[in-house]
Amino acid sequence: MNALRSMTFIEIKQFLREPINSAMALGLPTALMIVFGNIEGMVTPDVQWGGLRFIDYFGPSLVVITVAVLALQSMPSYIATYREKGVLKRLSTTPVSPIMLIGAQLLTQLAASVGAVVLLMLVGRFGFDVPLPNHPVDFILAFVLGLSALFTMGLLLAAVVPNGRSATAAGFVLFIPTLFFAGVYAPRPFLPDFVVNFGGYFPPSVQALQDSWTGNGANPWHLVTMAGIVLVLGPITAKIFRWT
Amino acid sequence: MTVIEANGLAKRYGDNVVVDGVSLSVKEGEIFGILGPNGAGKTTTVECIAGLRKPDAGSVSIMGLDPQRETREVRKLLGMQLQHSELPEKMRVYEAMKMFSSFYPNPTDSDTLLERLGLLEKRKSPFSKLSGGQQQRLSIALALIGQPKVAILDELTTGLDPSARRNTWKLVEDIRSTGVTIVLVTHFMEEAERLCDRLALIDQGKVVAVDSPAGLIEQVDTGKRLRFRPSGPFDHRLLTDLDDVVDVSEQGSQIVVSGTGNLLQSVSARLASHDIVANDLRVEQASLEDAFVALTGRSIELGEHSERAA
């Protein structure tokens, strides 16, 4: 455990040393919230957003941006670079398994995800009166499961790409649909119904976040789907992961 | 005492036989060299020994432990410096040391080790700002931080300039003097000759010979050669009728005499008795390189170049 702690500490330092990446992941959603919060039309309730203000409605999509940047861009590129540079192989010459480094990297990314979402909620709540989730337990479940599903997809990617650069490129292929189904490019009321429905089942399930934040609680099927993705892709990832 | 015992190691990838029945034994406290051209199977051999790869056949014992089954125990005893292994660009020297210290039950003091390796003033530098030699020394430091009994150093000085290379050699000798048994993988003749107590010549996945550098040279020593410029007119027959002389030839202004036994004494005595002075006299003896060529029928440098071209 001593090894995991020291590795996680160093991973967090490495993460913070990439100022553009970490600022983008940690601060972008909050920055967007601040921008929207200062636009007149976005802080007026509208039937289009179910009688809510856009800024209240859009929180879950902002959460997805953070998680997608970390799970599909940042984390796979770290892991692929570690493989490319022989860091994973070097670790396999020590008493500590290279799995530990992946664990430390995941912990770092999870901490960043939680930090970014907490920051977003605090700024929303105290800066712009955005209410906290209606169903906190559902929200935490939806967040944890959605996050796990998206990080599992990121790990699957990291398992096979040869280097950091191709990790970023391949990550983008998943990043685009993730943001699309989360209504980041076009808010979901403007999207066809089947796309909106599918958004409940595509990681990290923006619908589950939305239902627990501004609605009447998460749809269990959405949560089960996220858990299912982890259970199916997780073992595949472990099986095909290339260490060298 | 034997520290490493490998028996009949074999490893193939598809149709390509990389290691073909390698057996070695490394004694406590020695610097054991594994010398051969690139692509000879040296790295695969040591990676099988260290348990990083599973050999298709054969067995390995490191201080009585099986690296395939008792991997964790072996990892605590064995430090390994890998070829082409980097660290994250922005990781600082002291961070890498701290991280690797946390992996071992009894790590050595990191600053003392950095000082011994001449890296103490670089402890806050990120990995990407270190020179090739410094990166290599950090790599050695990370291999030694757990106080291993055995260290495997793979192509330690490849890519270093001559002075960094010499400093690294000194370092290897220092490490050995602290009682660490060292397995040194190299394709540099000079490095093997200078550092190794014993070495295994490996070619095309097979051990061709195991001996001390001097022993290997002796095995193939077919004779000695003298070169000189005679001070005056000189008739070959003056030397050809000496028992120790096999051949006399001319290369430009130089006379080249090859022979056996006390060649130098008999030739100089004969020249002296005819008042001929041997200017620029040089004695040439077989080198490790000649031994390699004689034992494998191939030049190690050729092996290297063909590898590069491939």
Pick the residue of A13, A14, A93, A165 with the most B CBs within 10 A to test the interface with B by mutation: A93
Instruction: Confirm if B142 and B80 have CB atoms less than 8 A apart.
Output: no
Task: Name the minimum distance, in Å, from the CA of A6 to any CA of chain B.
Answer: 6
Whole-model pTM? 0.83
Question: What are the pLDDT digits (tens) for B134-143?
Answer: 998 999 999 9
- Pair type for strands B224-230 and B206-211: unpaired
% pLDDT > 70, chain B: 96
B91·A2 Cβ contact <8 A:
no
Q: What is the ipTM of this complex?
A: 0.86
Q: How confident is the model at residue B285 (pLDDT cuts 50, 70, 90)?
A: confident
Mean of per-residue pLDDT scores for chain A? 91
Check pLDDT > 90 for residue B219. Answer: no
Chain B residues touching A86 at Cβ < 8 A: 82, 84-86
Check pLDDT > 60 for residue A171. Answer: yes
Domain that holds residue A135: 2-240
A93·B80 Cβ contact <8 A:
yes
Instruction: Confirm if B149 and B3 have CB atoms less than 8 A apart.
Output: yes
| Whole-angstrom distance, CA of residue B48 vs CA of residue B54 | 6
Query: What pLDDT is recorded for position A24?
Result: 82
B43-47: average pLDDT:
94
Burial of A83 (0-12, 13-18, 19+ CB in 10 A): buried
| Whole-angstrom distance, CA of residue A155 vs CA of residue A166 | 14
| Residue B106, number of CB atoms within 10 A of its CB | 8
A94·B103 Cβ contact <8 A:
yes
What is the CA B121 to chain-centroid distance, rounded?
A: 30
Identity of the residue numbered B233: P
Query: What pLDDT is recorded for position B303?
Result: 44
Chain A residues touching B100 at Cβ < 8 A: 94
Question: What are the pLDDT digits (tens) for A87-109?
Answer: 999 999 999 989 999 999 999 99
Question: What are the pLDDT digits (tens) for A46-74?
Answer: 888 888 888 898 999 999 999 999 999 99
Instruction: Confirm if B307 and B44 have CB atoms less than 8 A apart.
Output: no
Check pLDDT > 50 for residue B300. Answer: yes
Structural domains of chain B, with CATH? 2-218 (3.40.50.300), 223-284 (3.30.70.100)
Structural domains in chain A (count)? 1
Question: What are the pLDDT digits (tens) for B57-113?
Answer: 999 999 999 999 999 999 999 999 988 889 999 999 999 999 999 999 999 999 999
Query: What pLDDT is recorded for position A71?
Result: 94
Mean of per-residue pLDDT scores for chain B? 88
| Whole-angstrom distance, CA of residue A8 vs CA of residue B3 | 35
- What dihedral do alpha carbons B115, B120, B126, B131 form, nearest 10°? -70
